[in-house]
Each structure stands twice: as structure tokens, then as C-alpha cells.
Structure 1
Amino acid sequence: MERPDALAVTTYRWGRDHGLLLDSIFAGTLLVLLGSASAFIAGWPGLVVATFTIIPLAVRRRYPIGVLAWSLAMSVLQLIVIPIPLPGNVAQAVVVYTVAANVASLGVRLCTLVAALAGSLLAGFRWSTPPDYGRHSLAAAGVLGVLAALVWVIGNLVRGREENLRQLAHAVVQLEQGRRRLEQFVAQRERVSAAREIHDIVAHSLTVVIVQADGAAYAAANADRWDRTQAREVLDVIGATARSALAEVRTVVDVLRDVDTREVDTVFGACHDGQATGAELRRLVDSVRAAGVPVAFDEHPATFDALPLRLRFVVLRAVQESLTNVLKHAGSPVNARVSIECTPADLCLRIVDDGPGRRGDGPATGTGAGHGLAGMGERVHELGGQFRAEHRPVRGFEVTVVIPLNTSLGERSTA
């Protein structure tokens, strides 16, 4: 449906975009009407003064100060040579309006008002006649001054409106730029979160698969007898791990296809609803045990399942990445322990192994230690928690995660 003010808006835009043409038409029209009337009243002097007063209006918006100076000169000339007002004096009111509406300098606009009021006073005395010359002069000067001030005020109001429109247009541009930057930021966060998720999923799953496949290959090459039952168990673990990894990667890809710009980590947490449970955590530990690493698991099932979903998801990923690192770097023989403790104030997660591993200098907090530890630390810090990963004094590696439970993590899960 067409807007009722569409014609007015179109006309306004056309006039703004074709100001010189519109002003030329306006000046020509005034010259024909008011120039001829001035010639009829004051003869050829009136025609000359009116013509040279009106013609500059064609460039009034392009050169408002120059047109003002020219109009002042013509006003002085008229007061000298013609003792009566002319219809062409309407052009001088147009000039006052133009300066007030188009010149940004307040000083110039105030000088224009003063000049208009002074011209009104001089014109009142110049154009008045006896009898009662003084009273008539003051009355004429007052009327002309009020009209000049009114025209000046209208011009300032129009200028203020135009300035507001310009500022509004600038604000719209800024908002659009801000929206685009926000979209780019959200898209970047989605890519980073997706890379972090895929790294954790693929790294853990492939590590389990590689350990199982290497063990099976060694047994096939060196064992005296080939145990079909043991081989089937190895292949079952490989197949289950690969299928689980494929399902989780598909979940991440589905999230990336969603154009909704909600909180990225909240979306990923929601996608894993039903998986970030105590049963899933125990399945994860069992897959590492099946790969040949004894893992002690200290956790009450109700403790983990009572946590908020987003917190359960962070804990699950921390355990997954830590146990993956045990499989990859801890060496052999190695034992690991996962413990989860909850207090009214916070949650403490510790993953410890006693393998020889690869020693390093000081804590391995994620910087230069691979993407897994860095991603783990980012998740924990986003929840206001503390993360620490370091080599133990004698041997082994320890990961400690402490997350306060009084942060705004959403509703507690009833799972």
C-alpha cells in the first residue's frame, strides 16, 4: 500500500537533488511577476533594481553569503534612488530565509538578522511620508522588522530540521555498520566455537581409534593365537567411537547452518542436551578404559546431572580433552583419575595421570600447548572460572578446573 505522504517525500527529495534548477525556476517566476510589477510602480529604475535583486536568487542555496552581500548592496541602492517600496523587495526576505536555513555559522546568521532589522528601520523612515512622519516611520519599521524576524526564525527552524535529518541519517548509517560488525563478530565466534568443538570431538575419537587399531595391529603381528572375541571387541570400540564422532560433528555443522545469532556456546550446549549427562560422561571414561588406560572415576551420578546444562557441557569437554591428552602424551604405563566435587560455592574438576609424558618448563596453560588446552581454558573463563594445566612434581600431568556455581548459568537441569 502506498504511503499517503509518498508524493510529498518524492517532491522534497527531487527539490533537494535539483536545487539549482528549482532555484532558477523560482527566480525566473519572481522576475516575471515582481519585476514587471516593480516596473509599473517605479518605471525603469524599479525594473533595474528588481531585476538585479531577484536574479541572484537562482544561486541562493549554492552561494548564500555572496547572495546576502549582493542583496545588501541592492537594498542600499534602492533606498538611495527609489523613495518607495517595490514588489521586488520580496527577494530580500527570501535571502534572509536562505541564510538562516542554509548557513551553519551562528555568527553569520545573527549578522543577517541584525542587517535585516537595520534595513527595516531605514526603510521605514525612507518610505514614510507626512503628515505624522515619525509615527508612520516607526510603525512601518516595526512591521517590517517583525516580518524580517519571523522569516529569520522560520529559516532557523528549517535548518534545525535539516540538521536533525542529517544526524538521523548518519545515525542510521552507524547503526547499519554496527549491525554488520556484530554479524561479523558472531560469525567469527561461530567459526571459532565450531573449530573448538570439532577439534575436541575428532581429537578424542581418533586418538581412541588409533590406540585400538595400533594395539590390534600389534597383536595380529606378534600374538601366537588370534583371539576373534578380542578382535571383535576392538572393532566394536572403533566403530562405536567413529559413529559417535560422526554424529557430534554433524550436530556442530547443523548449528553452523542455523542463521539465528543467539549466544554461540548456549546453542552448542543446547545441541548436546541429552548427551551432556552423567551417562555420557561415564561412556567417555569407559572408551578411554577400553583403549587400555585405567581410569578411576570419582563422581556421584546425581551430582553431575544436577548441574546446569552449560556447565555440564564444559565439564564433559574438559574431561574429554584431558583424557585424550593422556592417551596421546602420557606414555605407558599410565593411570588416570577423574574427580568431580561440588560445594555450595563452586565445582572443582581434577584430571590427574601418573605417566612419564613429555616434560615442559612450568605450567602448560594453553599458550603454545595446542588448541585443546586453549579451548578448554576459554570455555572455563567464559563461565568466570579458573583453569590450570601443569606437570606434576615427580611425574604425570594435572588439569584443575574451578567454576563458581553462583554465576548466571541459567536454570538448573532436572535431568
Structure 2
Amino acid sequence: MIVRPWTLSRLRPVSPTHGGRAVEPGTVLAARVDRWSRARPLLVDGLLAGVMWLVFGVSSLLGGLPGLVVGTLTVLPLALRRRWPAALLVWSAAIFVVQLVVLPIPLPANIGQAFVIYTVAAHVPSLLVRWSALGAGLAGSLVAGFRWSTEPDRTRNALVIAAFLALSAGLIWLIGNIVRGRETNLRALSEAYARLDENTRQRERFLAQQERVAAAREIHDIVAHSLTVVIVQADGAEYAAGHAQPWDRAQARTVLATIARTARTALTEVRGVIDVLRDPESADDPDGPPVGLTDLGQLVAAVRSAGLPVEVHVDPAAFDRTPAAVGFVVLRVVRESLTNVLKHAGAHAVARVAVERTPRAVEVSVEDDGVGHPVCGPAGTAGHGLDGMRERLRAVDGTLTAGPRPDGGFGVRATIPLAVRGGRR
């Protein structure tokens, strides 16, 4: 029997619709134009300055040649308005002062001062510079009101003109600040999305690493158990072939059948793990097939066929309405523990398996009366069996206690809570 070892977490792609509604084609076009213009600020500002000169600069000829010169010097520098907004503010104020001295009338090119105020308010982060732009606009409005006022009611006309210009400058400055706040919010959102995207990629890498570790642990459990059974059977057969008189063909057939059955089972389970890696959708069932007494009995029978006596004491209710994840962990703990007994307990050892159910957990105990070797690999390094059991139990909030017994042998005790987080295995 194959039990899928884990459930893969999947990140679902975000729908391209906004709020369940399809994006309007006009909105997409506007977004493309906005991105294009932001990517080419000098080109856009140069085109704007050229068009404004053709419309407002040339029409400033109504002030004569001085009007054309002042209009040109006011409008054409707008091509650099987003590159050097503060310097443009100083330049525009100086040209406006020259205009007030040379010409007694307003010019169409004076609309350039409005663009300068807007640009400074929208694109300069310094609060002092932005307030300076507003102050220059209000001061220029007051002076221009008196400069451009006419008789008979000169003072009244000057105040009306100054109030109109000041109100216009204030509104333009306010709009620029609103746009700057919007841009600041968009940049903050863009940075937040970038961090979220990076966190998402890190989470995907972490999940992929978890999946690789889970697959490696599962394959280790399968191969270690199966090869241990095969080695024990092969060693026994080799000894019997060399020393038993006469050679028992029936016994040899049993040994070979056990080896073949164990190898086929291991191959099938490894293929199951690989299939899950290739097709994650096949592991999306959080519950999976139930694990019960039959599976435990088959496992114990396979170990007994390898020559290890195993005493089993199982609470009949141990697997009754038990989550599949809990039953799976119980099965894996018993299998890994018995594999360690086969590998390290020595000859003539007897293993005892006990599975009991409490109101809140299933408790598993696997002990042997062998020589009690530490669980080590070929080079004397610690093996991965106990670490794998601990990781598997940690995933379901379980605990593991393992070590030599006072009267000899080795013991493993695991506690698996019945309330598994999300039923994940």
C-alpha cells in the first residue's frame, strides 16, 4: 500500500480582472500612455515646451520684440522642468521680474509661470522649495496686479487682478501637491508590491525546499527499510546455502519470494513519491486513504519474514476514526523503529510494538532486548532515521523519545496528537 507522504502548498495566480470586472480597453491605453510618458520625461517636456512656444510664445509678439523675447525665455526652459525644477523656479521668477520692468501688459507666455509652480509642487520633495514657489506666485500676483492695472479705478482693478492671479496660483500649487502625494503613495505601493513579490518568491523557494526534504525523507524511509529486509534475507540465504545440510529448496523459495516482494513494494512506493513530485495535484487530498490495523499487520509480517520476532500489542481503537495523517505517522514510526532493530539490535533480539490510544493522542512504543547499539551509519556517524522521525512528528505537533533502555536494548516512544494541523501529512 502507498500512502502519499505530504500535501504540496500551491500559490494561486491572481486574476487579471479588477474586482471581478474586466479592465476597460481605454484604461489599458491610458496606462500605456502614462508608462510611456514617465519613461521619456525629457522628450515629453520638450514637446510640451515646443507646442507652448508655438501657441503662447509666438503670440507674445503683441508686446513687440521684447514680448517675443520674454515669451521665448519663459516657455522654452519648460523642456527641463522635471530635471531641474528648483533652478527653473529661480529662472522663471527672474524673467517675470524683467517682464514687469520692461512691459506694462501681461503676455500669453505667462502661462509658463503656472507650469513652473505646478512642477515644483508636484516634483520637488523639499517643503521649503515648495513653499517658496507658492510665496513667489502670491508675491508676483500682487505686484503684477498693480503693474497691469489701469485707470480710472486703478487700486480696485489692481486688487481684483491680484486676487484672481493669487487664487489661480494657489489652486495650481495645491493640485501639484495632490499629484505629488499620489506619486508618493504609488511609489510606496510599488515598493510594497516588490517586497511582497520577493516574500512570495522566498516562500515558494522555502516550500520547494520543504518538498525536497520531505521527498528525501520518504525515499530514505522506504529504501532503508526495504534494503534492510533484503540484506537480512540475503545474508540468511547465503549462510544457509553454505552451511545447511541438506539445502532446503522450500526455504530458499521463501527467502527469494520475500526479497522480490520487498523490492517490488519499495519500487512501487518510490514511484509513488516521484509521481507526487511530477504531479502535485495528485497530493492535494489532505485526508487520503485511511491507515489501519491491516497496514500495520502487513508491515510486521514483512519484518517477521526477515527473521526478527516481533510482539505486537495494539489497542483495537487505535485506528478507529483516527485521521489518516495520524495513522500514517504511526505506521512510519513503527517501520523506521523496526528497521533500526533489524540493523542494530544484533542476533536473537526480540522487538515489542505497542500502540495505545488516549483521549487526545496515539502513543507508539517500539522496544527491543538486543545489544542496544547507538543508531549509527557505516562510518560511525549518526544515522538519519531518528531525525526523520522527529521531523515527521514535529509536522503534526508530536514528540519523540528514543535511547538505550536501562536493562539493555533500545526504545522509541512517540506521541501523536489526534488534532493534526489541517490534516496535512
> Could you state the TM-score of these two structures normalised by the residue count of structure 1?
0.90
Whether the aligned pair in 2 keeps the contact of 1:360 and 1:391 (CA below 8 Å) is no
**Partner of residue 170, structure 2:** 149
CA distance in 2, matches of 1:319, 1:181: 35
CA distance 1:314–1:400, change in 2 (3 Å): same
Mean alpha-carbon deviation: is it higher for 210-219 or for 150-159? 150-159
SS at match of 2:356: strand
Q: Does 1:355 align with 2:370?
A: yes
Deviation at 1:299, TM superposition (A): 0.3
CA distance 1:310–1:172, change in 2 (3 Å): same
**Partner of residue 409, structure 2:** 396
**Partner of residue 39, structure 1:** 61
CA distance in 1, matches of 2:292, 2:271: 19
SS at match of 1:348: strand
CA distance in 1, matches of 2:325, 2:166: 73
Deviation at 1:151, TM superposition (A): 1.1
Deviation at 1:188, TM superposition (A): 0.9
Whether the aligned pair in 2 keeps the contact of 1:117 and 1:145 (CA below 8 Å) is yes
CA distance in 2, matches of 1:20, 1:260: 51
**Partner of residue 25, structure 1:** 47
SS at match of 1:344: coil
SS at match of 1:298: strand
**Partner of residue 63, structure 1:** 84
Deviation at 1:278, TM superposition (A): 1.5
Whether the aligned pair in 2 keeps the contact of 1:278 and 1:305 (CA below 8 Å) is no
Gaps spanning 5+ residues in structure 1: where?
362-367
Letter in structure 2 aligned against 1:293: L
CA distance in 1, matches of 2:182, 2:411: 67
Whether the aligned pair in 2 keeps the contact of 1:308 and 1:409 (CA below 8 Å) is no
**Partner of residue 352, structure 2:** 337
**Partner of residue 215, structure 2:** 194
Deviation at 1:2, TM superposition (A): 8.2
Mean alpha-carbon deviation: is it higher for 236-245 or for 205-214? 236-245
**Partner of residue 70, structure 2:** 49
Mean alpha-carbon deviation: is it higher for 388-397 or for 16-25? 16-25
> Could you state the TM-score of these two structures normalised by the residue count of structure 2?
0.88
Q: 1:10 pairs with 32, 54, 57, which one?
A: 32
**Partner of residue 284, structure 1:** 299
Deviation at 1:175, TM superposition (A): 2.9
CA distance in 2, matches of 1:386, 1:296: 23
**Partner of residue 383, structure 1:** 396
Letter in structure 1 aligned against 2:305: A
Residues 386-413 of structure 1: CA deviation (Å, up to 9, x unaligned): 11110112310010111233454549xx
Deviation at 1:138, TM superposition (A): 1.4
CA distance in 2, matches of 1:289, 1:374: 25
Q: Does 1:314 align with 2:329?
A: yes
Letter in structure 1 aligned against 2:338: L
CA distance in 2, matches of 1:254, 1:262: 9
CA distance 1:99–1:409, change in 2 (3 Å): closer
SS at match of 1:307: coil
Q: 2:262 pairs with 212, 234, 241, which one?
A: 241
Deviation at 1:312, TM superposition (A): 0.7
Deviation at 1:209, TM superposition (A): 0.8
SS at match of 2:318: helix
Deviation at 1:131, TM superposition (A): 2.2
Mean alpha-carbon deviation: is it higher for 171-180 or for 310-319? 171-180
CA distance in 2, matches of 1:327, 1:224: 26
Deviation at 1:71, TM superposition (A): 0.5
**Partner of residue 365, structure 1:** none
CA distance 1:80–1:261, change in 2 (3 Å): farther
Deviation at 1:52, TM superposition (A): 1.2
Whether the aligned pair in 2 keeps the contact of 1:385 and 1:403 (CA below 8 Å) is yes
**Partner of residue 7, structure 2:** none
Residues 138-164 of structure 1: CA deviation (Å, up to 9, x unaligned): 111110011111111222222233333
How many pairs were matched up? 398
Residues 57-76 of structure 1: CA deviation (Å, up to 9, x unaligned): 11111111111110111112
CA distance 1:379–1:360, change in 2 (3 Å): closer
CA distance 1:147–1:409, change in 2 (3 Å): closer
Q: Does 1:102 align with 2:117?
A: no
Residues 271-312 of structure 1: CA deviation (Å, up to 9, x unaligned): xx25x3211111111111111111110103442243110011
Letter in structure 2 aligned against 1:393: P
Q: Does 1:372 align with 2:393?
A: no
User: CA RMSD, aligned part only?
Assistant: 2.2
CA distance in 2, matches of 1:338, 1:408: 26
SS at match of 1:303: coil
CA distance 1:317–1:108, change in 2 (3 Å): same
Map 1:83-162; keep pairs closer than 5 Å: 83-162=104-183
Deviation at 1:111, TM superposition (A): 2.0
Letter in structure 2 aligned against 1:207: T
SS at match of 1:183: helix
Whether the aligned pair in 1 keeps the contact of 2:309 and 2:351 (CA below 8 Å) is yes
Letter in structure 1 aligned against 2:300: V
SS at match of 1:387: strand
Letter in structure 2 aligned against 1:171: A
Deviation at 1:195, TM superposition (A): 0.4
Mean alpha-carbon deviation: is it higher for 315-324 or for 286-295? 286-295
SS at match of 1:293: coil
SS at match of 1:5: helix
Gaps spanning 5+ residues in structure 2: where?
1-22
CA distance 1:261–1:104, change in 2 (3 Å): farther
SS at match of 2:26: coil
Whether the aligned pair in 1 keeps the contact of 2:398 and 2:415 (CA below 8 Å) is yes
**Partner of residue 418, structure 2:** 405
SS at match of 1:121: helix
Deviation at 1:372, TM superposition (A): 1.1
Whether the aligned pair in 2 keeps the contact of 1:310 and 1:409 (CA below 8 Å) is no
SS at match of 2:217: helix
